Amino acid sequence: MQRGEAVEVSYPIRTTDRAALATLSGALARRTHQRRMKRLAETPPAVGEGTPLPPADDAALHLAEGTVDLTFTGSAGQGFAVFLTRGMQATLHGEANDAVAKAMSGGRVVVRPPEGAPFTAEKAAIIGNCALYGATGGQLFVRGRAADRFAVRNSGAEAVVEAVGLHACEYMTRGTVVILGEASANVGAGMTGGRIFLRRDQAARLNPEYVFARDLDAAATEAFRALVEAHAEHTGSATAQALLSDWTGARAAYVEAVSVTRR
């Protein structure tokens, strides 16, 4: 990485491996911070002005997308891919405990069953509670069901999951979550921003005090399809592939849920 070369490696993982990738993400975040401080020192802002680094320039301070490609096989302990940052992709062939991709700010996380798994991936629980807690960016694709409080306090990440437990998208402020299948009760409680795509027959699971469902317009359809396509590509999801094979029916079967403040 220090030479600017791509890294592609694989590791086994087990439940005693907790907060996997936190150390690496911290090192990359420190490197980005040091580069930003150096840039600020070289081009200090004028009095009364804000940061001299527009978003386009700031992106150059991070690793390019896909620079670090990590594959794990096994059962990950709590906090798999926490604090993930830009330039990293972590793929887990197996399952994970609570707090997957907690506080991630960039990169991509993929969780899918191992090859030859003797169960139907779309119907099996594969990650624990509170995935994406407090995330501000990045993507998470889960070929399987998530437990409770999926994407709680999500503040900018994109995610696709086959099904979710209680309180999904609780206190969400930004970002996009696609729930392809079943949702348990109280989806979107306390939600003030972002959006959720879910099946029309699951809309009754939404918390009506905070979110409401509406038909997909052209822009929402485009965003929804892009995430379904990405999910199919990264996980091989049978659900996603079926939706793409009958897109007219898929569009009619799903709705977009947003905060009631956007009525």
- With H, G, I as helix, E, B as strand and everything else as coil, classify residue 254: strand
Specify the pLDDT at position 123.
87
In 3D space, the residue among 215, 247, 213, 211 whose CA is nearest the CA of residue 228 turns out to be 247
Closest residue by Cα to residue 194 from 211, 216, 215, 219: 211
Give the range among 53-62, 89-98, 202-211 with minimum mean pLDDT: 53-62
**Confidence bin at 49 (pLDDT 50/70/90):** low
pLDDT reading at 117 higher than 80:
yes
- CA pair distance 199, 210, nearest whole angstrom: 18
Is it the case that residue 243 has pLDDT exceeding 90? yes
* Per-residue pLDDT tens over the stretch 138-179: 999 999 999 999 999 999 999 999 999 999 999 999 999 999
pLDDT in tens, 18-38: 999 999 999 998 988 888 888
**DSSP notation for 160-223:** EEEEB-TTTTTT--EEEEEE-S-B-S-BTTT--SSEEEEEGGGGGGB-TTTEEEE---HHHHHH
pLDDT given for residue 65 in this prediction: 82
| CA distances to 38, 86, 88, 140, 228 from 68, in Å | 24, 9, 5, 16, 24
pLDDT of residue 120: 86
Question: How far, in Å, CA of 185 to CA of 202, rounded?
Answer: 9
* pLDDT (0 to 100) of residue 62: 78
Overall pTM > 0.85? yes
45 pLDDT above the threshold of 80: no
Rounded mean pLDDT of 189-203?
A: 98
Percent of the chain's residues with pLDDT above 90: 77
Ordered structural domains, the chain, with CATH: 7-19+64-262 (2.160.20.60)
